[in-house]
Amino acid sequence: MIWNVVSWALLLSGAAFVIVGGVGLIRLPDFFTRLHAVSIPDTLGAALISAGLIIQAGLSMVALKLLIILAFLLFTGPTATHALAKTALHGKLAPRTRNPEKTP
């Protein structure tokens, strides 16, 4: 019962982060801020949802597989985001700053 509550709390908070990421993707102004928004569901959302599902699965093969998927996501998600941001900077896409003269 307690584990159920914990797992649902994890699942719901994960879902909340995913929604926040989706809203950010639509609302934020430029590439880098959008990337920042997308990385939230990629890491925190995925981690929380997987943790919730692992508790739901109990001690079994399914839980182990979910754990491996979680590790995979934690490896690839930030790497992809990092590569995207770096490539964008490399391709001379300047981040939007408050006063446009002082772009790095």
Chosen residue from 76, 93, 95, 97 binding other proteins by CB under 8 A: 76
83 near other proteins (CB under 8 A)? yes
User: In this chain, which stretch among 16-24, 26-34, 58-66, 75-83 interacts with other proteins, using CB under 8 A?
Assistant: 75-83
Please state the three-class secondary structure of the chain as a single string.
CHHHHHHHHHHHHHHHHHHHHHHHHHHCCCHHHHHHHHHHHHHHHHHHHHHHHHHHHCCCHHHHHHHHHHHHHHHHHHHHHHHHHHHHHHCCCCCCCCCHHHCC
Which of 5, 9, 60, 86 contacts other proteins by CB under 8 A? 86
Q: How far apart are CA 3 and CA 41, in angstroms?
A: 23
Total number of residues that touch other proteins (CB under 8 A): 9
Closer residue to other proteins (CB): 82 or 96: 82
Under the criterion CB under 8 A, does residue 75 sit at the interface with other proteins?
A: yes
Write out the residues near other proteins by the rule CB under 8 A.
Answer: 72, 75-76, 79, 82-83, 86-87, 90
